[in-house]
Structure 1
């Protein structure tokens, strides 16, 4: 599969087969992540792989949102009106825990920070944060080429504190998201993509 096919194939999946992802595949997709561009050329990234369900239960302090009414209340509060966008949240919110717990592989990526992530002194201070997301995208595309799909989820502050306690990572490393990967369930829901034409987004010389 070439890179354009992998990009076109990649989809967010939250419903997985009860099937682990082979460690050889995990190593390949993480190695693809390491090929991503990095701001300081050191690739100061680490990955904690959690395959054991009991260990996942210790790490995860994520709650599924109970129902559609609760979700709608949240979306209304955010001022979200686009139907495709709202439908995506309706798919996602009830699966916040299950999509991480039931995945064939759960990866916790970490990157080294030079100063507090949420209090950057300049835009350049976010270079480390930008680089790890290039790495994560490589992982998702490499996974798609293997027939494996998944989802990312950014942790809440209290989740990050809990993960630090359980995992024991150094103070100067931050986890930007969970990466859940696996083989899609036969009835896996695939949220509709917003149809956007590239020429609508292109500007020549000026905006």
Structure 2
């Protein structure tokens, strides 16, 4: 069986209880050279549990400060269920309670993650080179839960001297098929292998993997330097960029962020708008509440430039005629028309319409007026759903009321039924500039309790 790919992994016994100020590299070197152990060799990779680094670096706080510690370590709440918080911490890691941990630490205390796990890994690697003269890789590990999967596993939160990612894109598989999306998280695989022998409660915080020297980069002391050839990036390279993260938030947090993101956008890029994204937003819109189990929404999608220009030209002419009838000067009219050009700047327009299908007719005008108000409110709820869903698709929008002032013109140009009432127009597109900051509104200012 010789010549087949293989590796060995073993836990390193003899690591004492770690205290603040201890030199982890010296503790590992002493344990690794004990009688009966194989020692360390060039190309070995060490998996080091983050907790011993936290202890050595003094990252210990009192347990009654745990919530405050989580707050201090967290930069963003990803999901919350009861007291449990999944957060992004200051290292960019998404994990429960920001990694603040009450296990394997004296009663009454909790541990924070190392300040900089990559730097911690580099210190251990350098210390082992200086003490034992070996070129090893170091992976700092911590325990994670994972979306879609039950159970916990160790992953890499820090690394030095290890190619943390193995990018196979551009190659082919055994059948000659191109590999276009295959990037292997080598450091995470090493962390999980080490955890199989370290265990969670065995008091064995360090494991050694031998036989995978190809994942270890040249030694810093050999003149190549950390990061030789760009290979030693540290575990931060494993953290997915926000722009590429399709699962960045929990359900309720995603809804709240989409609502917050829903801002009026008046400057758009020329990027085309995905019609599928708009239709998904319409699907969200028609879940809004409505009276009498009706469906009072219709959405007219103006996907061609010709249809947009034809509608906007007709609306502009109708507006100019109204302004002239109101006695405005030609200069004032021109200025108002220019200010109203937000719809022309958008690459996509939607005209939401109200229909009264299913409405009730009453013998008195008061109840009939209230009936229409209910349908108008339902239309507004549908449009709000639509705008929020667009924000969730990372599309900007501006809901402009202009079609409500020339409904007959809109119906004629778009060939709409006589009972469809245009309820403004929504400009849709990619925002050309980031929206200005919005003052925080105190919800209590809008609440009245009886």
Q: Normalising to structure 1: TM-score of the pair?
A: 0.73
Larger radius of gyration: 2
Q: Which moved more, 1:195-204 or 1:166-175?
A: 195-204
Q: Which moved more, 1:6-15 or 1:119-128?
A: 119-128
Higher strand share: 2
Cα deviation 1:142-187 (Å, max 9, x = unaligned): 11111111101112665322111111211111011101111001x3
Cα distance change on mapping 1:176 and 1:157 into 2, 3 Å: closer
Matches within 5 A, 1:157-168: 159-168=406-415
Matches within 5 A, 1:17-96: 17-60=269-312, 61-62=315-316, 94-96=338-340
Aligned twin of 2:268: 16
Aligned-partner Cα distance in 2 for 1:181–1:167 = 18
When the two chains are superposed, the root-mean-square deviation of aligned CA atoms in Å is 2.7
2:397 corresponds, among 150, 172, 175, to 150
Cα deviation 1:91-132 (Å, max 9, x = unaligned): x985422x21221320011121359xxx87432331111111
Aligned-partner Cα distance in 2 for 1:203–1:47 = 35
Displacement, 1:195? 4.2
Q: How many residues align?
A: 173
Are residue 3 (structure 1) and residue 247 (structure 2) matched?
no
Displacement, 1:7? 1.0
Displacement, 1:58? 0.8
Cα distance change on mapping 1:14 and 1:95 into 2, 3 Å: farther
Are residue 197 (structure 1) and residue 442 (structure 2) matched?
yes
Q: Secondary structure at the match of 1:62?
A: helix
Work out whether residues 53 and 101 of structure 1, in 8 Å CA contact, stay in contact via their aligned partners in 2.
no
Cα distance change on mapping 1:95 and 1:52 into 2, 3 Å: farther
Displacement, 1:52? 1.6
Aligned twin of 2:420: 173
Are residue 111 (structure 1) and residue 365 (structure 2) matched?
no
Work out whether residues 12 and 151 of structure 1, in 8 Å CA contact, stay in contact via their aligned partners in 2.
yes
Q: Secondary structure at the match of 1:170?
A: coil
Work out whether residues 403 and 410 of structure 2, in 8 Å CA contact, stay in contact via their aligned partners in 1.
no
Cα distance change on mapping 1:157 and 1:44 into 2, 3 Å: closer
Aligned-partner Cα distance in 2 for 1:131–1:157 = 16
Aligned twin of 1:100: 343
Aligned-partner Cα distance in 1 for 2:436–2:350 = 23
Aligned-partner Cα distance in 2 for 1:156–1:9 = 25
- Unpaired runs of 5+ residues, structure 2, are 1-248, 318-335
Displacement, 1:42? 2.5
Work out whether residues 403 and 422 of structure 2, in 8 Å CA contact, stay in contact via their aligned partners in 1.
no
Displacement, 1:39? 1.2
